[in-house]
Amino acid sequence: MTRTSPFTVLIVGTGGIGRRHAATVRACHADAEFLAVRSEPSEATESLGMKLVADLETGLAANPDAAIVALPPAMHAETASKILAAGIPLYLEKPVATHCADLQPAFDEAEARNIITMVGFNLRFVPGLMRVKDILDAGDLGAPRHARMSIGQWLPDWRPGRDYRETYSAKRALGGGVFYDLIHEIDLARFFFGEFDHVDAVAGNSGALEIDSIDYADIILQRRDFSAAVHLDYLDRSAHRAGRIVCAHGTIAYDVTDGTLDIYEAATGEWRRLAGPEAFVVAEAAPAAIHHFLDCLKSGQATRQPIGEGLRSLALAELAIESGEPHP
């Protein structure tokens, strides 16, 4: 495929996330050109000098070097499928869809054509969480036996200056709700421990937020020798993200909010701190993920987390929804 010059990126979704990703691209490619699928200019499009295109088809006809999609989750599958069909490398924000079946065929075809893709599971780029993965892989604490992972934050605090009830998070029809919005924790469970073959969940809407999406869920991910309990909520006024992993010969405790990583070694009977706040600067993870995507575009190598990773984590979320989400 003949590529455009200079480096051109199609941006589909110019909200906060899409804007930040575009700014990271511009920092790497000072002469990058952006095509934004948008009918009217916004502060984001003007500040980054984006050229507006009326629709996705017009943007694809310009043969961009890559596309970044950061839309409400319910719009991801259709948009991503069209981009992949056009053979354009794609960075797709999480969750990759609201139903695996809506995107799986397009991804399978893209894989067969060696199209570079990446899902925006940026927590996999947080150094402290990468260290947790390294400890587990090294096996010095023995096999993991059980884990508890939890994320919670008061939804009205997420996007200052916006009415949270008007955001996609609040609306079931747009893919809002904790199963999708907070899928990072489900993905971290796969990142740390591998695959699971059984899922149970309880979930609901507390009524505290005047929204119609699910605002809390407790999920159990299981396989024969291991289980992980994953808690998700929009309700915690203090905000937290943390986990505790019980292994055969010790325990790992991480707290992303406080910025700590500690291990307990049964052999010594003592806790030891391995990392502090400098290893948990979450704001640096998304740019690191975009850098990785751009490096893979340059080298022609597959990314560490292609869209297939997003589909496998979404499959667990779908099972949790089927198990635990109350239906009207």
CA dihedral defined by 14, 20, 22, 24, rounded to 10 degrees?
180
Residue 110: CATH number of its domain: 3.40.50.720
DSSP 8-state secondary structure symbol assigned to residue 207:
S
pTM of the model: 0.95
The verdict on residue 3 lying in a domain is no
| Any domain includes 220 | yes
Q: List 222's β-bridge partners, or say none.
A: 198, 227
Question: Does the structure show a pLDDT above 70 at 209?
Answer: yes
Mean pLDDT on 132-158? 97
Range(s) of the domain holding residue 62: 8-122+286-306
Q: What is the mean pLDDT of the chain?
A: 95
User: In sequence order, which ranges of 140-274 are alpha helices (DSSP H)?
Assistant: 178-181, 184-193
59 and 102 assigned to the same domain? yes
User: Are both 257 and 116 inside the same structural domain?
Assistant: no
**Are residue 127 and residue 276 in the same domain, yes or no?**
yes
CA-nearest of 8, 21, 102 to 285 is 21
pLDDT at residue 24 tops 50: yes
Answer whether the bond into residue 6 is a cis peptide, omega within 30°: yes
Same domain membership, residue 108 and residue 157: no
* Shared-domain flag, residues 300 and 319: no
Contact in structure between 275 and 261 (CB atoms under 8 Å): yes
Same structural domain for residues 183 and 112?
no
Pair (216, 296) in one structural domain: no
- As a whole number, mean pLDDT of residues 82-100 equals 98
Question: Are 291 and 264 members of one domain?
Answer: no
Cβ contacts of residue 37 below 8 Å, gap of 6+?
A: 10, 11, 12, 52, 53, 54, 55, 56, 59
Whole-number Å distance between alpha carbons of 123 and 207: 29
pLDDT category at 326 given cuts 50, 70, 90 is low
pLDDT above 90 for 328: no
What would the mean pLDDT of 171-187 be, rounded to a whole number?
97
**The one-letter amino acid at 297:** L
Q: How confident is the model at residue 324 (pLDDT cuts 50, 70, 90)?
A: confident
The predicted structure's pLDDT at residue 1: 41
In a domain, 90, yes or no: yes
d(CA 195, CA 191): 9
Q: What is the mean pLDDT of residues 95-120?
A: 98
What's the token pair of residue 24? 């990271």
Comparing 171 with 327, the larger pLDDT belongs to: 171
Q: Using one digit for the tens of pLDDT, what is the confidence trace for 115-128?
A: 999 999 999 999 99
pLDDT above 80: residue 137? yes
Within the chain, strands assigned E span: 8-12, 33-37, 51-53, 66-69, 90-92, 117-119, 144-152, 198-204, 216-223, 226-233, 240-247, 250-255, 260-265, 270-275
Instruction: Check residue 307 and give its pLDDT.
Output: 98
118 and 207 share one domain: no
- Identify whether residues 211 and 290 lie together within a single domain: no
Shared-domain flag, residues 141 and 238: yes
Model pLDDT, residue 6 = 85
The number of folded domains in the chain is 2
Q: Is residue 147 part of a domain?
A: yes
User: Is a pLDDT exceeding 90 seen at residue 3?
Assistant: no
Please state which of the ranges 28-32, 180-184, 268-272 shows the lowest mean pLDDT.
28-32
The answer to whether position 1 is within a domain reads: no
Q: How far apart are CA 119 and CA 264, in angstroms?
A: 33
115 and 302 Cβ atoms separated by less than 8 Å: no
- Do the domain assignments include residue 91? yes
Domain membership flag for residue 2: no
Whether residue 190 lies inside any domain: the answer is yes
Q: What is the mean pLDDT of residues 155-180?
A: 95
Residue 176's CATH number: 3.30.360.10
Residues 248-281 have pLDDT tens digits of: 999 999 999 999 999 999 999 999 999 999 999 9
Model pLDDT, residue 325: 66
Percent with pLDDT over 70 in the chain:
97
Same domain for 278 and 290?
no
| β partners of residue 204 | 216
pLDDT in the model for residue 218: 98
Is residue 69 over pLDDT 50?
A: yes
In the chain, the percentage of residues whose pLDDT exceeds 90 is 95
Average pLDDT estimate for 85-113: 98
